[in-house]
Structure 1
Amino acid sequence: MELIAELRRLHFVEKVKISELARRFHLSRPTVRKHLQTEGDPVYPTRKQQPYPQLGPYRDRLREWLEFDASLPRKRRHTAQRLFERLQVEGYRGGYSSVQRFVKVWKSARTETPKVTQVFVPLVFSPGDTCQFDWSHETVVIGGVEHVVKVAHFRLSYSRKMFVVAYPRETQEMVLDAHIQAFAFFGGAPKRMVYDNLKTVVDTIFLGKERRFNRRFMALASHYLFEPVACTPESGWEKGQVENQVGNVREWLFTPTPHFDSLVELNVWLAQRCEELARRAHPEQASRTIAACFAEEQGCLIPVTARFDGHVDDMRRVSSQCLVSADRNRYSVPAQWANQVVSVRLSADRVRMVANDDIVADHARCFGRGQLICDPWHYLPVIERKPGALRHGAPFVQWDLPVPIKVVRDRILKQDKGDRAFVELLLMARTLGDSGLETLEVACELTLQSGVICAAVVVNAMQRLTEASRPKTLEPAGASIPQLTLEPVADCSRYDSLRGVTYVH
């Protein structure tokens, strides 16, 4: 606009000719005439259709992704940045702005409802003071099957260091285990933890900020010495950092849907990605990375002196089949506890039964429904009295024994009283402790090599494998072997005299 004003002043006031103005300002004469006729702000023509010289070959691919996203829930859709990164993998060499404009035009054509904006107050946190927690539901493919996993999010408010871990459920033992994993990852606990009012943490909501927290959760807080703080209901902005992290993590880590062989593999990958994302610049301290700020904050965290046992107790009665129901599945307990009450301790990955302050059974936790998880050793006292149950008993049919033991078992069960004979082998293996099954496997291999397969041969092999070795005969050092000076001479005359004796009956 300054140029137009100068041209008009020189021409109309100082009477400078158009050709002289064009030469002086390096403009064409038609351009000078147009500027001389302009009195207000210049109006430039706008393009009705935006050309895409670089994006052109990829517009159909981009449109295909956008149409597929439209059929998904909003939280699983791609952002423009994520679409740009995927196009780069496809070979796109253009800029991000072209992708952003195309996505904007495509979405505006669908007349989506505009977002409602709110105004917030910026917050400042000191190192080690606050950490925010939240859950999210993400879609992953585990073992070839699509699952919806529950992801626990932690975010240190000062350094912005984050930690995420996935679980099958949002139950209380999962909440406890997530805190244990997070504090181990951070190398300490913050002074305050901020939550929304989830039921596994808060039992009762009173007026204002007053809450009644869950007793088991307060045991966790007492162990790690942090103060739990609950937000005002429906006020997620009070923990806005972790709320924002949920969307970012979904974009960065779960779009497109990742594939893993197991949940453990997924969590290992998530921990690695948290470390990698910490190399990014801090959102407020642009000259430093998140990792550098975390190194400063880590020294202000409360040290972790011992690991908390994050389990939830429940009293259950053992059935006559030596089974206890826990989380819609049944787990076995040693036969001596049948028809008695035991304490079931549910943790994130284990199910333990406790009686008289001793752990009587320990199983890996199953997250299906209606599953039967049995330890065959729990039923040995039963089949000792009822050996016929060995053939069709669920614990023994499902028992994944080594191949040599299976072959010998099948041969022995075809023999007369083979059920009882094989039970005696299992009882003998149990007396050997942890190495019993391994010893039985070796004994069965030796029996198969001998060609004579029966329980007595297996027992003999196990005894030879477990018998104590005889000590070697030691000779005194420096001592010589004594020698006979007078060797004895055989006297056969006594035998000859006996031959002449007459016996009287």
Structure 2
Amino acid sequence: MLVVETVVRIRREHAGGKPIKAIARDLRLSRKVVRKAIRAPEGAFDYHRSVQPLPRIGPFQERLDTLLTENEARHRRDRLRMTRIHDLLRREGFEGSYDAVRRYSRRWADARRKDPGDDVAAFIPLLFKPGEAYQFDWSHEDVEIAGKPMRVKVAHMRLCASRAVYVRAYPRETQEMVFDAHARGFAFFGGVPLRGIYDNMKTAVTSVFVGKERVFNRRFLVMADHYMVEPTACSPAAGWEKGQVENQVQTIRGRFFQPRLRFASLEDLNGWLEAECLRWAAMQAHPEQKDMTVAEAWDAERPALQPMLAPFDGFHETSHAVTGTCLISFDRNRYSVAARAARRAVQVRAYADRIVVRLGDEVVAEHPRHFGRDRTIYDPWHYLPVLAHKPGALRNGAPFQGWDLPPALARLRRKLGSGDEADRRFVRVLTAVSSDGLEAVEAAIREALDASTASDEVILNILSRRREPPPVRPLDVVADLQLSHPPIADCARYDTVRGLDAAA
């Protein structure tokens, strides 16, 4: 194919009177090509093939049409990739290339469209008022935490008017993570918009009906009511309805997560991400208000946001049975609870960073949340009532291995030494923590050790003495108290009571 410069030269030389034969000789072209360049309108020299030959696909065209028709009828998730269709044809003897199959499938799809305007990706630009709405979405990113590769779930929030972004990484994409992301996001933005735009994620939407009708999750609605937000769900497979946050996912992936991030912990990663969100807002120009940065538009939008009075108590509650060893199984790990809850049903409130175990209205355990698997997390104080009856378990009991005791108790443990008798004495002091409190027990231990006495009896005696009520203070008597009518001694008055016979 001739380049534009050659076509222009041919037309210019021919207009100057140069013969076609001479032009062809000088430019080393055929006279047919020169004539075609001269006759082409306005220098256009494009070639359009009217009929596409199919030397390889021809014998397999009917089979390929069948595969494409069946594939189009499948659900979007179940459709075969074009590489797979090419492989199926090769199994049946097809020797053509993948590009030939791909080009044919594209022409096949174009030919099936009734209207050339169908399926055209055209959208209507949206405009939002300050404080009107935000958009929320998730993405999955690959990072390295403590030297190990990890795929984290990243929550994305975006203010629709100012385009301010908030990003936070989590190990799960569960409902408690959604609640935590909203609380942190609204605190980061400095307020709450009036409306939230979501896709049909299971943690928010229970049922999807025709049109915009949705049944939202009960706990999700409670959160929306707490922040006074109106939740809005997009149409299925209609990402353009929240196009800002969809574009944010791609932008943040390229600018924040590539190359792969490496941090010692998830907390360090999230601290860095929050700082990057602020830096990005200060550097990025607003897409519509070119004279402002995103940070400046964000400052202008902040007064229009609703005030965030308090974060939502964002937990996901489930019921669990406590084993005889005072353990519950939750999220592929085991956690200890207070001994009084053994063999009973408890409610576990899972937060993004901790779990709280309740027996009725009483909290019987609280632990930092772990996201690995097959780990057992003990709190030795949960087993104190059991240890009081079985002091021998102090030596080999799993909850007490590597127990990081408070300083005074650790010092007493060393003074008492080892052995069954030492264990019993130490357990007697430990059990006093349940009734007197840890501070009082440590103070009694320090008092006894300062007196060079490492005895459980002395320590318990000190605690008992401190539990006794203070002595009652005697009343102060005023020495110079004077009576208005002083008494007069008169024994004859008794005789009048006894009668006349007594007097005689």
Q: Is the 8 A contact 1:190 1:301 kept in 2?
A: yes
Residue matched to 1:309: 313
User: Any runs of at least 4 consecutive aligned residues in structure 1 with deviations exceeding 4 A, and if so which?
Assistant: 39-43, 113-117, 402-408, 436-447, 452-464
Shift of 1:167: 0.7
Q: Is the 8 A contact 1:405 1:440 kept in 2?
A: no
Residue matched to 1:492: none
Residue matched to 1:164: 167
**Structure-2 change in CA distance of 1:314 and 1:394 (3 Å):** same
Q: Is the 8 A contact 2:432 2:441 kept in 1?
A: no
SS at match of 1:278: helix
Q: Does residue 211 of the first structure (1) align with residue 214 of the second (2)? A: yes
Shift of 1:458: 6.2
Q: Does residue 195 of the first structure (1) align with residue 236 of the second (2)? A: no
Task: Name the TM-score, length of structure 1 as normaliser.
Answer: 0.65
After TM superposition, the structure 1 = structure 2 runs for residues 215-234 of structure 1, keeping only pairs within 5 Å, are 215-234=218-237
Paired with 1:444 and 1:268, the residues of 2 have a C-alpha distance of 46
TM-superposition CA deviations, 1:446-487 (whole Å, max 9, x none) = 58xx5x7654576688899x799x99xxxxxxxxxxxxxxxx
- Which letter maps to 2:209? F
Q: Does residue 336 of the first structure (1) align with residue 340 of the second (2)? A: yes
**Which of 246, 259, 263 is residue 260 of structure 1 equivalent to?**
263
Q: Does residue 180 of the first structure (1) align with residue 183 of the second (2)? A: yes
Shift of 1:438: 5.2
Paired with 2:255 and 2:375, the residues of 1 have a C-alpha distance of 36
Q: Does residue 236 of the first structure (1) align with residue 231 of the second (2)? A: no
Paired with 2:153 and 2:218, the residues of 1 have a C-alpha distance of 23
Residue matched to 1:352: 356
**Structure-2 change in CA distance of 1:197 and 1:42 (3 Å):** closer
**Structure-2 change in CA distance of 1:222 and 1:404 (3 Å):** closer
Residue matched to 1:401: 405
Q: Is the 8 A contact 1:439 1:462 kept in 2?
A: no
TM-superposition CA deviations, 1:362-411 (whole Å, max 9, x none) = 11111111211121111111011111111111111142225774465366
Shift of 1:298: 1.4
Q: Is the 8 A contact 1:150 1:168 kept in 2?
A: yes
TM-superposition CA deviations, 1:94-151 (whole Å, max 9, x none) = xxxxxxxxxxxxxxxx9xx999993322211111111111111112222222211111
Paired with 2:464 and 2:174, the residues of 1 have a C-alpha distance of 49
After superposing the two structures, state which structure 1 stretch, 160-169 or 331-340, moved more: 331-340
SS at match of 1:417: helix
**Which of 388, 391, 394 is residue 387 of structure 1 equivalent to?**
391
After TM superposition, the structure 1 = structure 2 runs for residues 48-447 of structure 1, keeping only pairs within 5 Å, are 118-279=121-282, 280-401=284-405, 405-406=409-410, 408-409=412-413, 412=416, 414-415=418-419, 417-435=421-439, 439=443, 442=446, 446=450
Output the aligned Cα RMSD.
3.7
SS at match of 1:369: coil
**Structure-2 change in CA distance of 1:255 and 1:460 (3 Å):** farther
Q: Is the 8 A contact 1:413 1:422 kept in 2?
A: no
- Identity of matched residues, %: 47
Q: Is the 8 A contact 1:183 1:189 kept in 2?
A: yes
Q: Is the 8 A contact 1:209 1:230 kept in 2?
A: yes
Q: Is the 8 A contact 1:404 1:444 kept in 2?
A: no
- Which letter maps to 1:352? V
- Which letter maps to 1:278? A
SS at match of 1:150: strand
Shift of 1:429: 3.8
- Which letter maps to 2:348? V
